[in-house]
A and B are shown apart, each in its own frame.
Chain A
């Protein structure tokens, strides 16, 4: 079973984290930090497996990772997964992202994190590999995207008269309304 999927950049900034077991937020942060610490100090030309961390649930677990340009893709799995199989699954994930975003880069993961999550949800469900066929994944994700778009148009027409007077007395207000605007006004 896959226990967790983490994506972070070369500086350890998490770009996506998905845990298939429940941990408190602090533990999740801790796991991400330690995983980065472990993975980042490994050379490029040594193997992609790391064993026996005390991280997630004990010595049975392994970290399997790949490094692409600025991003690390790390899967934490238990002994019931095949190492090379997971390695290729990462490849499939990255290739799918590449197809969806056309030449994927770190920024895509930052601004379209929902889409990335959707793709991941099509591939892995509850820690189990669900689908490995790239075109199948993309079809599903696109169908979902289409449905969202059609409803968004209807909602935007509803909200046109809405305008924001941004209260900038405190930084929090600004952040909040910006967040809302981003949600509402994204194409």
Chain B
């Protein structure tokens, strides 16, 4: 190191006495280059460069280095960089230099800055970066940003930092976006148009990254919209498009302005500069049309404002160029999105015709897209273009084909389903794009479930789905299929037929070549065979066992599938001990522990037929199986294990979080049963059935069993809720008569054409197509089925075996007369049922049941018990709160340990502004001879208030009482009264904390200490702790059914689970929902028939929507939320609430 210093020292005077900078630059660099060329080994070069770099480091950090020297250093640094050495310390100086210098230096250093930025990018996204480094990066980023480089990727980190960190980070964090946006805010008023325009876009970017941080500049957006320069206004439309997409209602007042702008643009009022191919500002028009369609959606009065201008746009856009088509397309979409107007719809329909019939392939594509969008509103439109659609089906372009199938999917009904599914499967067989396959296969499965005409077709189609989709399939598809098979419909005979058919077809498949079959298909087959092979009497069970054993021997079969196969074998092994024992023997030495366990079970069960009978009753009805989804039978075991020092269970998402954040251990009590698989079985709805808990390893089996906890009821119930609310019971209207296309045959003939398959006379190609058309478009224009949660995303009606009046009449030759009469009588019964049900619903008074729970409570040392305890009294309270309109305050119940005289009137001590809030019981936290602490929770809309009462139990004055509360998972937003100078004898002081929960945890525990002085100079501390549950942070979310529907579609994370249904009272669903509503603070949005929708939110933050459906004796709960962990938490609390009920 000393020689470095020496070198620097010798170098310095040389720098100082240099006359011209230029000469000096060349000298030093030349010297460096020369010395490098003179070296002989790589090692020497490294040393030299190292010296050079440290010399440079000294120089750049010295305050009296001049600009020219600096420039020289930069050149050398660049040279070193080029040789592959790290000269990153010069970046920041390069930036400085660039700031002072002109454009040239800028470019010279841009290279370095870019490297700096990309280095920062790597750093910020790496999980190992510490807080301190992060802080430093932020400062660097701010600097780069100041110089005009885009470091926007750091904003989000800055904000994150602000959330986790201490005071300093907070300041940096909140400062950064403000700091970043402020130059843009000022430049929004800049004189030059281009700068204003860029500033607006930069602000938009800010908004996208941190919407909350830029709320103060919304006024600026309006200013930009009213800018005199159209360019600036165009840029501001980006912002408004985004804002309006998020909340259309708050910008309705701007509709007029947008309409005026569009009118002016269409009318050619803009300067000629804005014309593109003589179309006035086409991109601007596109943006405006999008905004208008968002504004006018489902709003008649707003839509009326824009009819005129839409008409004008449709008229003005002459077909001469690509870009006019772009405008037209947006126009058409807008017309169909806003409140309909017949005249406009007609024009728009004509435009779609122009698109679809266009010879240009791009326009055809858009036409199909428009049609797909439009058929949701008006299915008849597809009829006009059926020939084109047929042509597109055979088009060579992959994209067009895909779009056509998407369109067909939308128009599928019970009559054309076979043709459409066949087309889709054909396409799938020739397709090799993974994404498309996943997407389409799901749709095929959905269609098959919804509209299948008969058993054989359904099973065959599902076979195709499984073999084509293979292991790309989403788990939903096989799950739904198996559930359908298992739960069956109302008539046992029909179910058995379906099952029998499935067994037959799978046996045929297994007898063939099996090595190419996907794992998923094998799993489905083995489950079905295990469960229902006994139905097929003509096949020897030994044959089935032989086939399954063969599968086990195949190398391509994965170990997960092996588990499925083994559990199937376990089920059918009865009485075939000889075959099974060998197998069990060979597998019991397997490497896979799950397999080994299962082999053991198999051996035991096959030897003891009585046990087998008991554990796996053949053909037993599923309803008989009790499912305890909260796993309460394990509570004893768990608390024992916990007492023995075992680590508490953590749900996977929590584990992952901890891995990421590298936090200390989280000592929460036992977590909840997550629907994510615990064993190798990957079915999502995993629950452990009580009866089968002897063999938890029978994973595939037990899962399936548990899913069958209900039988279906939805079967014949008519869908009374649609996208737009209540659907009046529509009679099947007669098919439309006014079909304009010549190719269409009258509806009567259509059906006839479908039935009479081959035509006797020679067919031309055209006729072929016409026939295809007639079979594809049959049944369109009849009121299509709607569902509660919007169209495509709605839970598919799993139970496809609806009595189809059409089907039963057309296929009466195949079905027995008994069957058809059975189904028709059933359908009539169902209708009356639903009518009865509907009218009952309206009359029933919406009573809420509030539980008055006065059971004495005891505090125990056991954390679990205590936890339960608190929950119980919370339940008692919230029921009070929510039964009425959150105002009732019940005198608190008293802890045994606590002197009654003190606690009973504690709530009276609450500050006046808090008195009206709903609150929980007062519970005692801790006490010592001089102080006793109790707490109480107050529920405010946006926060939870934790009130701590500090009571002086002595006759003397206690001084300097200070409360310190810590909780890692919660955020304290405000506190009051945590320091009291002097607490009078026998008096109580109140301190309260407002707590926020950002990430839901099932239970959070808080700890704290109270320090106080009884005598001067002698400080005592009293520790206390307690738990809070998520339920304390849940608030009702009041929405209407429509809003709910919209919100539902926009949420991403979902969880499904079956819960217990409370059956003790008259209406099980209503009772269950009410008790849930009382236990957790939920808002029951609506209850229709056997479905109910419920909404809540985490304080004033993330919403969570619950969709409940009665499913036999279980309640199928489907939760959705933008927050990944929230549904799990709420589900857990629902389970607890119902279990406690």
Contact = CB atoms under 8 A, between A and B. Distances in A.
B397 A46 contact: yes
Given A47-B361, A85-B282, A129-B283, A179 B325 contact: no
B78 interface: yes
A139 B1058 CA distance: 66
A132 B150 contact: no
Given A45-B361, A162-B25, A87 B322 contact: yes
B540 to A, nearest CB: 47
Interface of A: 22, 24-25, 42-43, 45-54, 59, 80, 82-85, 87-89, 92, 114, 125-126, 128-133, 135-136, 140, 144, 147-148, 151-152, 154-155, 158-159, 161-162, 164-165, 167, 169, 172-173, 176-177, 179-180, 183
A22 B29 CA distance: 37
B362 A51 contact: no
Interface stretch (B32-40, B517-525, B938-946): B32-40
Contacts of A87: 322, 326, 362
Given A88-B322, A126-B150, A82 B399 contact: no
Contact of A140 (B82, B152, B194, B231): B194
Given A54-B435, A162-B26, A43 B396 contact: yes
Interface in B830-846: none
Contact of A179 (B82, B274, B400): B82
A85 B22 contact: no
Nearest to B275: A133
B326 A84 contact: yes
Given A85-B283, A133-B273, A162-B25, A52 B322 contact: no
Contacts of A159: 22, 25-26
Contacts of B122: 24
Contact of B79 (A45, A49, A59, A176): A176
29 contacts: A22-B121, A24-B122, A24-B125, A46-B396, A47-B364, A47-B365, A48-B362, A51-B399, A52-B436, A82-B329, A83-B362, A84-B329, A85-B282, A87-B322, A87-B326, A87-B362, A88-B323, A128-B235, A130-B201, A130-B235, A131-B231, A132-B276, A132-B283, A133-B274, A148-B104, A151-B104, A155-B104, A159-B26, A165-B34
A85 B37 contact: no
A84 B396 contact: no
Nearest to A180: B82
Given A51-B399, A59-B439, A84 B325 contact: yes
Given A46-B361, A52-B436, A147-B103, A84 B23 contact: no
B104 A47 contact: no
Interface string B271-299: 00110100000110010001000000000
Contact of B362 (A49, A53, A129, A162): A49
A52 B202 contact: no
Choose among B23, B79, B103, B282 the residue with the greatest number of A CB atoms under 10 Å from its CB.
Answer: B103
Nearest to B23: A161
A176 B81 CA distance: 9
Interface in B306-337: 322-323, 325-326, 329-330
Contact of A85 (B21, B153, B323, B434): B323
Contacts of A135: 273
Contact of A54 (B103, B283, B402, B434): B434
Interface residues of B, number: 69
Contacts of A154: 104
B238 interface: yes
B205 interface: yes
Nearest to B289: A82
Interface string B928-968: 00000000000000000000000000000000000000000
B185 interface: no
B204 interface: yes
Contacts of A114: 107
B33 A47 contact: no
B366 interface: yes
A24 B121 CA distance: 9
